[in-house]
Amino acid sequence: MTTTSPRPTTLAGDRRRFAGPVDPRTSTLTPLDATQVRLTGGFWAEKQQLNSDVVLRHCEDWMERIGWIRNFDLAAAGRDQPDEEWPHSGIEFVDSEVYKLLEGMAWELGRQHDPDLQRRYDDLVERVSGAQDDDGYLHTSFGRPWQRARWSDLEWGHELYSMGHLLQAVVAAERTGTGPRLVEVGRRLAEHLWREFGPEGRVAICGHPEIEVALAELGRALDEPRWVELARLFVDRRGRGLLAEIEYGAEYFQDDRPVREADVLRGHAVRALYLAAGALDVAVETRDDELADAVRRQWEATVAHRTYVTGGMGSHHQDEAFGADHELPPDRAYSETCAGIASTMLSWRLLLADGDARYADLIERTLLNVVLASPREDGHAFFYTNTLHQRTEGTVPDELEVNARALSSLRAPWFEVSCCPTNVARTLASVEQYFATRTDDGVQLHQYGSYDVDVELPDGTPVALSVASGYPFDGRVEVTWREATDREVELTLRVPSWTEGAAVTLIAPDGEVSRHATSTVVVRRAFAAGDVVVLDLPTRASWVHPDPRIDAVRGQVAVQRGPLVLALESVDLPSGSVADVLVDTRVAPVTTPTGARVALTRSWTRPTPWPYGQPVAATVEQLGRVDLVPYASWGNRGPSTMRVWLPVGEGRG
């Protein structure tokens, strides 16, 4: 048991203000911080609680046990004897996992005071700080006489990538007031990077984008435009062939075309998405409309042609990359958890910049169907990749061993490259900050669940409301005003794109009922305390048909229930295999409390030595109604096979 209490609402005696991970200088929508939007219960609060109770500690314990944190101790202890080799643990970018843990801890501490967590955080900050060199450089894998020289492997070394994650942890420390010592470390590091890579420094970039989005936010957080300028240099240098040739081509690390000239995201998915997020930050801060338009254009083309129904991105295992347009094989979906998080980061920045609900739609889809698919129900294991079709059951991973990335159909406790668990941790620790925003005239609710919003509009008008919903399973969203607004304000509610064609019912405080089909509904009035606005979104299960150009799923359908993409798992099948099932689409799916029930048949043919030739008569067996579960919860009941896309067949036996 830990003792926790809510944070104070201001940083006493401090010029800084609380803010979340993204705080643009100018935007259409203004983000809210952790004191202004708070989860109060239900689905999302449970996920966040699992993160604070289990996931953060899990990441910390693993990195302590396998020496990734100790790398910093050894680096600190060896500073006076750099020639003396010490055993570095893990691959060259494991520092970044410690930084993402620090970021997650800071967001957690920003929400609630927890003396035990603060002590662990302070201790970790101390250990990381001790490894910083006198000139500000900080990395445990490079620069000592027995290691590779600093900046000697910009293609694969991930030095700037790791430092970018440190700077994001610094932003969290600054904005939550939790770690002034870490902020000083960040400043010294940024100064070092300015000397090395600034206008007077070397013209170079890192193989893995991340430093761009980090520096831009550091500039915002510290109100020091120099760091935005350094981010701009890194963004503008990209796409000019500065990195050496590699087997996957320059496209792999987006060095094939300048950001402002590209039309679609391509290459390694996480790299492409982090870069786009950083480029948008730079565009917003420097009022570079051409660059912002390029990012918008790339987002649109990528969503239209290169995104899985879950919101997942990346269909190549070999290079963890986007495929060509419509190359979205469900069984080879890479759909890395980190790509889902990076996509959410990008969409959030676009939403703040433009206010367009489409971005919030993709955030919803991706959070619920990619990011939340990663952690196991108990928070002690994670999916790295998120396939949409698991053909073999796989084996139970060893709970004490470090796993390769995608060994099994089951989630693994830790990976050799363990970017995803810590990314989940920092995202869940700050997830409520994607839920709502404000303008001068009111508030906008983008994501639904149970949470409170308490914010003062710039003219002092208070907005205090409670959102209550059984989302994502129940589409009824009740917004209760706790305080009167002394003037007319706007309450804007997103109508998710999956309700297309369905009537959305809105009940305003005076009982007026209206039906809507647009992407947002706005209620404008002077609200009285106790006023209730109800948005009723139909969450019944329905078929989802793919664009016919997505060859790999042609002739198949998926089922979506509200915002949740559903999946068929073999543990729910009497035949025990998803390989030969067909779905009868003449029978509408029946909505169940958390999923749907569909009519399935099983089609099988006599085995032949050669599986091609003339049509062979198949025997069809009725399987009756079978339950589909939310995709994000699959794999929690032991080894199984699974598929999201179901081949359409007839029900005849």
Interface residues with Zn ion (CB under 5 A) are 336, 338, 419-420
Q: Residue 387: name the closest of 471, 443, 331 by CA.
A: 331
**Which residue's CB is nearer to Zn ion, number 27 or number 427?**
427
Q: In whole angstroms, how far apart are CA 211 and each of 205, 207, 295?
A: 9, 10, 17
Total Cβ atoms within 10 A of residue 510: 7
| Dist. CA 460–CA 450, nearest whole Å | 25
Q: Which helix (H) or strand (E) holds 216?
A: helix 211-222
* Dihedral over alpha carbons 132, 137, 141, 144 (to 10 degrees): -90
Smallest separation (angstroms) from Zn ion to the CB of 163? 18
Smallest separation (angstroms) from Zn ion to the CB of 266? 19
Q: In whole angstroms, how far apart are CA 133 and each of 58, 142, 259, 624?
A: 29, 11, 33, 66
Total Cβ atoms within 10 A of residue 281: 29
| Dist. CA 356–CA 359, nearest whole Å | 6
CB 430 within 8 A of CB 437: no
**Which residue's CB is nearer to Zn ion, number 336 or number 452?**
336
Smallest separation (angstroms) from Zn ion to the CB of 422? 9
**Which residue's CB is nearer to Zn ion, number 159 or number 336?**
336
Q: Can you give the length of the chain in residues? A: 653
Smallest separation (angstroms) from Zn ion to the CB of 340? 9
**Which residue's CB is nearer to Zn ion, number 420 or number 566?**
420
Smallest separation (angstroms) from Zn ion to the CB of 413? 15
**Which residue's CB is nearer to Zn ion, number 60 or number 531?**
60
**Which residue's CB is nearer to Zn ion, number 102 or number 420?**
420
Residue 393 region, left (φ>0) first, then alpha (ψ -120 to 50), else beta?
A: alpha
Q: How many CA atoms lie within 13 A of 13 on its CB side?
A: 0
Q: Which distant-in-sequence residues (6+ apart) come within 8 Å of 613 by Cβ?
A: none
Smallest separation (angstroms) from Zn ion to the CB of 513? 45
CB 318 within 8 A of CB 373: no
Smallest separation (angstroms) from Zn ion to the CB of 406? 11
Smallest separation (angstroms) from Zn ion to the CB of 320? 9
**Which residue's CB is nearer to Zn ion, number 164 or number 472?**
164
CA 600 to chain centre: 33
**Which residue's CB is nearer to Zn ion, number 420 or number 541?**
420
CA 148 to chain centre: 32
Smallest separation (angstroms) from Zn ion to the CB of 33? 27
* Main-chain phi, psi angles of 55, to 5 degrees: -65, -45
**Which residue's CB is nearer to Zn ion, number 219 or number 379?**
379
Report whether the peptide linkage leading into residue 145 is cis, meaning its omega lies within 30 degrees of zero: no
Smallest separation (angstroms) from Zn ion to the CB of 420? 4
Smallest separation (angstroms) from Zn ion to the CB of 22? 20
**Which residue's CB is nearer to Zn ion, number 338 or number 346?**
338
CB 131 within 8 A of CB 23: no
**Which residue's CB is nearer to Zn ion, number 182 or number 265?**
265
| Dist. CA 450–CA 467, nearest whole Å | 5
**Which residue's CB is nearer to Zn ion, number 178 or number 369?**
369
CB 515 within 8 A of CB 505: yes
Token match 């839920």: residue?
A: 435
CA angle 321-325-328, nearest 5°?
Answer: 65
258 by Cβ neighbours in 10 Å (0-12 / 13-18 / 19+) ranks as middle
**Which residue's CB is nearer to Zn ion, number 339 or number 357?**
339
| Dist. CA 49–CA 39, nearest whole Å | 10
Residue nearest to Zn ion (CB): 338
What DSSP state is assigned to residue 413?
S
**Which residue's CB is nearer to Zn ion, number 269 or number 564?**
269
Which one-letter amino acid corresponds to residue 171?
V
Smallest separation (angstroms) from Zn ion to the CB of 638? 24
| Dist. CA 89–CA 140, nearest whole Å | 10
What DSSP state is assigned to residue 263?
-
Smallest separation (angstroms) from Zn ion to the CB of 563? 23
Smallest separation (angstroms) from Zn ion to the CB of 371? 11
Q: Which distant-in-sequence residues (6+ apart) come within 8 Å of 389 by Cβ?
A: 330, 331, 333, 578, 642, 643, 644, 645
**Which residue's CB is nearer to Zn ion, number 419 or number 583?**
419
End-to-end CA distance of the chain: 58
**Which residue's CB is nearer to Zn ion, number 100 or number 296?**
100
DSSP string, 46-85: HHHHHIIIIIHHHHHHHHHHTTTTHHHHHHHHGGG-TTS-
Smallest separation (angstroms) from Zn ion to the CB of 270? 6
Smallest separation (angstroms) from Zn ion to the CB of 281? 21
CB 23 within 8 A of CB 31: yes
